[in-house]
């Protein structure tokens, strides 16, 4: 990626921010922090917040906005162990694409492949009563995503 090519807040970011209202707890994680907008909101309602991104430039940018957050440059949540999260937030790349040319928007053939990988990776870090909030697009194969998420775990979908 080039300097400043991290994912900047957009409509989906603001939708996700609305969903965070009234949520609080001990530990929260944002996978794919981008600009840090959501991470900054999480730190207001959770005691400890971890944010990851595959792009070091995004981590550096987000770090400017959100203090007292542990930022980790890694793919999804692959570098994190021994932490149980109340909430994991993911605004993944979800546009259907034959190749992953732009990691900020390309979600795989059906627009769900990257999302599924992130959810599978995060599930191992989720508390028993924890939640994963994800964003998807009407351009992605929503029905397939829901079916695959049901296979991943016994958590309710809404």
What's the fold here for domain 11-150?
Rossmann fold (3.40.50)
- Asked if residues 115 and 145 have their Cβ atoms less than 8 Å apart, the reply is yes
- Asked if residues 157 and 150 have their Cβ atoms less than 8 Å apart, the reply is yes
Q: Is the pTM of this model over 0.85?
A: yes
Give 3-state DSSP helix, strand, coil % of the chain, rounded to 5.
30, 25, 45
The one-digit pLDDT tens for each residue of the chain (158 residues) are 444 566 778 899 999 999 999 999 999 999 999 989 999 999 999 999 999 999 999 999 999 988 899 999 999 999 999 899 999 999 998 889 999 888 888 999 999 999 999 999 999 999 999 999 999 988 999 999 999 998 887 555 54
Domain parsing of the chain, residue ranges = 11-150
């Amino acid at each position: 990626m080039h300097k400043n090519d991290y994912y900047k807040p957009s409509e989906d970011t603001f939708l996700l921010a609305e969903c965070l209202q009234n949520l609080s707890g001990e530990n929260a994680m944002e996978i794919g922090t981008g600009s840090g907008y959501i991470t900054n909101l999480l730190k207001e309602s959770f005691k400890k917040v971890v944010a990851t991104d595959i792009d070091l430039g995004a981590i550096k940018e987000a770090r400017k906005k959100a203090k007292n957050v542990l930022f980790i440059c890694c793919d999804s949540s692959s570098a994190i162990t021994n932490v149980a999260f109340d909430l994991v937030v993911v605004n993944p790349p979800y546009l259907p694409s034959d190749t992953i040319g732009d990691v900020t928007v390309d979600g795989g053939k059906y627009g769900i492949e990257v999302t599924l990988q992130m959810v599978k990776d995060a599930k191992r870090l989720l508390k028993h009563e924890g939640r994963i909030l994800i964003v998807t697009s009407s351009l992605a194969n929503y029905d397939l995503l829901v079916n695959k998420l049901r296979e991943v775990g016994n958590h309710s979908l809404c």
